[in-house]
Structure 1
Amino acid sequence: MNGDVDRFRRLLFSLGRLHSLRDPLASSCERTPLTAPQIHALLWLGQDEALTMGELARRLGITEKTVTGVVDRLEREGHVQRERDPEDRRVVRCRLTAAGTRVYRKLDRTVLQGMGRMLERLDANDRRALFRILEKLIASASPEGRPPSLPGAGSR
């Protein structure tokens, strides 16, 4: 197993030398006034609709204090709005505004185009293997032992 881990690490570093592994959307940041965390926040909110500040922070890999600043800026720009949970006023959820939804759709098209370019480098067998491996990794990380249902999975 150690040999596999070493090989996996070397391959990821080789790929990282060609393309940023930290943020494959980096080129999108250059064409927009948004920062990488703002772009990722818009993408998560576009995928999953309303998220608590804590859940958004977890998905972005930042602290709740830091996510507050990200959401403050997105709110000032009119992309997101905060809502208090009617049953527990301590819980604050973020959701996209109409303007935020328009930006999300543009970003999502960019992501889909990039994924398409990446997947076209693989033949059908390799794509099936990639999907099988990703589904297996997701299932093993899921508390239920199976992949969670994906929002919009049937609509694309």
Structure 2
Amino acid sequence: MERDRLVREVLDLQGVLARRAIGEQADMVDDAHLTLGQLRTMLVVHTHEPCPTSLVARLVGLRPNVATGVIQRLVERGWIARESDPDDGRVRLLRLTAEGEEFVADVVRAAERQHEKHLRLLDADQLAQLRAILQTLVGAPENSDKQPE
């Protein structure tokens, strides 16, 4: 039970940090007149480009027809471009345009600045411990349900 309580506390603290980090990014998204779905779509395309609409829909959690509408609005703004898949002409692949890449880079830099502010509060030993913990988490299989004793 002690371990379960600690896991819950860590999750709660991660949530607090995530909410604090959203501020500057939220302002950027509001200033750009983007919805959260549009931002998430751009981030998925950035991470997986070139990618089909079906992958965007799955990773963003949208029905395919809704994802198509979100993508169309981003195409109209000039932030996403569609191109034919060289292996299957029926499939359209998505890429960020230069303007879309610039916006995503700005959002990522804002998040990094916020995370860096938090990390600067830690001393060298704490940073080393955090790095070791994160290396363990990054190296763990994604579907691992294994819990240490």
The two structures have a TM-score, normalised by structure 2, of 0.72
SS at match of 2:82: strand
Report how far residue 120 of structure 1 moved.
Answer: 1.6
In structure 2, the partner of 1:43 is: 43
Runs (4+) off by over 4 Å: none
Q: Which amino acid aligns with 1:100?
A: G
Is there any run of 5+ residues in structure 1 with no aligned partner, and where?
Answer: 144-156
In structure 2, the partner of 1:7 is: 6
In structure 1, the partner of 2:122 is: 122
Q: Distance in 1 between matches of 2:48 and 2:128?
A: 26
CA contact (8 A) 1:41 1:60 kept: yes
SS at match of 2:94: strand
Q: Which amino acid aligns with 2:106?
A: K
Is there any run of 5+ residues in structure 2 with no aligned partner, and where?
Answer: 144-149
Structure 1 residue 111 corresponds to structure 2 residue 122: no
Q: What is the alpha-carbon root mean square deviation over aligned residues?
A: 2.9
SS at match of 1:91: strand
Structure 1 pair 14/119, CA: closer, same or farther in 2 (3 Å)? closer
Aligned sequence identity (%): 28
After superposition, what is the alpha-carbon deviation per residue over 1:71-114, rounded to whole angstroms, capped at 9, x for unaligned? 12111111001222111234332101122122222222212212
Q: Distance in 2 between matches of 1:128 and 1:55?
A: 36
Q: Distance in 2 between matches of 1:111 and 1:40?
A: 14
The two structures have a TM-score, normalised by structure 1, of 0.70
Bigger relative contact order, structure 1 or 2, given CA contacts below 8 A and separation 6+?
Answer: 2
Q: Distance in 2 between matches of 1:137 and 1:35?
A: 31
Q: Distance in 1 between matches of 2:61 and 2:126?
A: 30
SS at match of 2:29: helix
Structure 1 pair 50/128, CA: closer, same or farther in 2 (3 Å)? farther
Q: Which amino acid aligns with 2:125?
A: N
Report how far residue 135 of structure 1 moved.
Answer: 2.9
Structure 1 pair 31/54, CA: closer, same or farther in 2 (3 Å)? same
CA contact (8 A) 1:57 1:63 kept: yes
CA contact (8 A) 1:81 1:97 kept: yes
Q: Which amino acid aligns with 2:128?
A: R
In structure 2, the partner of 1:150 is: none
